[in-house]
Structure 1
Amino acid sequence: MSNVVEFNRDRPTRKRRTSAASRAIPVPRGAHLQHCLESWELSLQAKNLAEKTFRSYTDSVKAFIAYLDGHSLPCDAEAVDAAHVRAFIVREIHRTSPASADVHYRNLRVFWNWLCSDEGGPERTTASPVLKGDRPNVPSKVRKHIGEDEQRRLLATARSSSFEDRRDLALLTVLYDSGPRASGLMNVRYTPRTPDTHDVDLKGRRVRIRLKGGNEHWVPLGAESVRALDRYIRARSAHSRALTSPWLWLGIQGRNTAHMSPEGLRDMLARRGVLAGIAGKVHPHRYRGTATHQLLAAGASEGDVQEVMGWRTRDMVALYGRDLAQERARETHARLSPADRLAQGSR
């Protein structure tokens, strides 16, 4: 008898059983997104972005990573696909709003483009999973701007000779005149004895502010702005922190009266808006669109408005000016009405 054991080759091989839990665990194919995020943060910091922009970028990626982990989805640079991004965006639309979801979409697009670039590794060898067609549709809303009557009512709340009223009148006038960002305006330095850091040039009718990313920009001022600013500077000279503070705008209460902050500006505008009886909250960004509209309505070119505002592209002029474009069109039509010109020619 032979000692050789023959195996039945026709017998089916038994497959190894796996639990539902183990099947749900995604197998990583690339670098984990948390490590990629930490590297991206270093790259963003090297670009010297504004703190608000930096937080927006990184918060979106953190939210996406939390979503992937919470749904047992792949969380590495290679395995994430468009369906995962799409599901996250849809969830954010229903959880918050289309506008908030759009911010996440744009931030994730920047992140994945970096991962696909040489600077980012590339950690992803295929195309970005953030597809152009998946961008959420954000319904356009008409922004509330500051009308001429509203601005007069705001100015009327600060007509006394007190330090606070002189300061607030100057701020209200400069905001309406040129629409600078709150952070840029409130960080204007006043060091007349140190010209290199002195940002106020009344004779040249301008102030120097820092834009997003740290670029410097001279904001032009009209005669009314210069007059209000000069009047405030005289009151500033009697302030207890006038000689020690390098900042133009000084506070009157709180822990740091040597520097009025952007938050202080927002509080002031909200308070003045209530005193003036203006519907809706008055905040600095309302003035950005207001100045854009007023300049365009007065006949300024888009290129001139771009320079005044310190924008890098003409697209921002269209973005801030489109809300009142119909009003400007109606005013233009009132001047150039074909029917009116025809009637005048027949008389």
Structure 2
Amino acid sequence: MPDNVIDFTSRTARRRRGEKSLASQAIAIPRGADLGRCLDSWTLSLESSHKAAKTIRSYTDTAKAFIAYLQRNSLPCDAERVAAEHVRAFLVYERERTSPASADTAFRNLRVWFNWLCSEGERTTSSPVLAGDRPKVPRKVRRYLSGDEQRRLLATAAGKDFEDRRDAALIRILGDSGPRRTGLMNVRYTPRTPDTNDVDLKGRRLRIVLKGGDQHWLPLGAKAAAALDRYLRARSAHRKAQESPWLWLGVTGRGVAHMTDSGLYQMLQRRAELAGIEGKVTPHMFRGTAAHELLRAGASDGDVQQIMGWKTREMVTHYTGELAAERARETHARLSPGDRI
């Protein structure tokens, strides 16, 4: 409009005209790649990076549940238009449908997925999975095994037959270094083929595969190594000893050539009942117990991290934090300032 012309249009009309102009300049978020299609690609990526089958299943189950939630509620279902409020609503839904712990798992899985989408260029903005939206999980008391309970378990396997020697070696190793059950039960024993042999008895160590697929040498104490040596002598007479590449052999059933992690779980349940220990005794309970005992004996957080094969120091606190006060009291009793005066 020229400067010498007065605009008598009403203020409301001018404001509407201005809003229309701004609206016409707004840029809509374009539709991105379909999340279902992206899920197939992500699964392929996870498999190619040698993620554990259980981990892949957890990731993909969460992604499928999220996609179904978006579709059911008529929400955007592509990589670009999913917003933080959509993720937040899904997490609330999961918490109410299942539990805070399950919602937290969903949060962590979605964070990995959208980080992958961003890294692949399927999403051009930042991830909609925000740290502040992580569900709060009530803290539960962790169950630890006492020294007396471990001695009672070992007492049930004090015999000299194959099964007793095998079980005693497993209990000793679990209590000594706390390996994950899948890593421990997939140790190979091929003394004639050094490249695949995971047992180094002279070096007192076992080569295990960690959760992320990395290999790790698990150290063994003197008693654990001696128990393993006794088992290897008993193993040599087993009918599957020459043909099986696995260290741990079964006694009955179709899986005699390879005792699996479920077999380890069942063995501990049986031994716990014989020992008169109330409640379940699981392989995972040994993990926190071993870490606590190492710290109690004077090992540093870094030492425990290396022994357990953990990637971060935070895992040490995660497994042993509840007993920190107990260790502090014992340290004070040993180093009490008042006692030195």
What's the TM-score, normalizing by structure 1?
0.87
Residues in 2 aligned to 1:86 and 1:175: alpha-carbon distance in whole angstroms: 40
Query: Which one of 14, 35, 38 corresponds to residue 36 of structure 1?
Result: 38
Describe the superposition over 1:258-292 as per-residue Cα deviations: whole angstroms up to 9, x where unpaired: 00001100111112112222222111111111111
**Counterpart code for 2:63:** V
Alpha-carbon distance, 1:218 to partner: 1.1
> Quick check: 1:28–1:75 contact (8 Å CA) kept in 2?
no
Residues in 1 aligned to 2:42 and 2:231: alpha-carbon distance in whole angstroms: 44
Whole-Å separation in 2 of the counterparts to 1:214 and 1:49: 7
Shift of 1:338: 3.9
Match of 2:109 among 107, 118, 123: 107
Deviation of the 1:78 alpha carbon: 2.0
Task: Specify the code of the residue in structure 2 equivalent to 1:136.
Answer: P
Q: What is aligned with 2:24?
A: none
| CA shift digits 1:19-41 (9 cap, x unpaired) | xxxxxxxx982221100111111
| Structure 1 gap ranges (5+) | 1-26
The answer (yes or no) to whether the contact 1:209–1:217 under 8 Å persists in 2 is yes
Q: Considering only aligned residues, what root-mean-square deviation do their CA atoms show, in Å? A: 1.5
Distance 2:40 2:77 in 1: 14
Aligned residue pair count: 313
**1:5-30: CA deviations, max 9, x gaps?**
xxxxxxxxxxxxxxxxxxxxxx9822
Distance in 1, matches of 2:311 and 2:209, equals: 14
In the TM superposition, what is the alpha-carbon distance from 1:337 to its structure 2 partner? Answer: 3.3
Q: Closer, same or farther in 2 for the Cα pair 1:131/1:214, shift >3 Å?
A: closer
* 2:319 corresponds to 1:317: no
- Residue in 2 that maps onto 1:158: 157
* 8 A Cα contact 1:28 1:76, kept in partner: no
Which residue in the other structure is 1:286 paired with?
285
Q: Which runs of 5+ in 2 are unaligned?
A: 1-28
Name the residue aligned to 2:69: 67
Find the aligned partners of 2:215 and 2:81 in 1 and give their Cα distance. Answer: 42
SS at structure 2 position matched to 1:101: helix
Paired position in structure 2 for 1:190 = 189
Partner of 1:57: 59
Match of 1:308 in 2: 307
Q: Which secondary structure state, in structure 1, belongs to the residue aligned with residue 324 of structure 2?
A: helix
Between the aligned residues of both structures, percent identity stands at 68
- Please give the alpha-carbon distance, in whole angstroms, between the structure 2 residues aligned to 1:195 and 1:224: 24
Tell me which residue corresponds to 2:22: none
- Counterpart of 2:155, as a letter, is A
Matches within 5 A, 1:149-228: 149-228=148-227
What TM-score do you get using the length of structure 2 for normalisation? Answer: 0.88
In the alignment, is residue 146 of structure 1 matched against residue 148 of structure 2? no
Distance 2:76 2:277 in 1: 51
In structure 1, the residue matched to 2:259 is 260
Q: CA deviation at 1:334?
A: 2.1
Q: CA deviation at 1:91?
A: 1.2
1:208·1:218 contact (CA, 8 Å) conserved in 2?
yes
Contact 1:28 1:74 in 2 (8 A): no
**What is the alpha-carbon distance in structure 1 between the residues aligned to residue 57 and residue 248 of structure 2?**
26
Offset, 1:340? 4.0
Supply the distance in 1 between the matched residues of 2:306 and 2:117 (Cα, whole angstroms).
34
Q: What secondary structure does 1:116 align onto? A: helix
In structure 2, the residue matched to 1:274 is 273
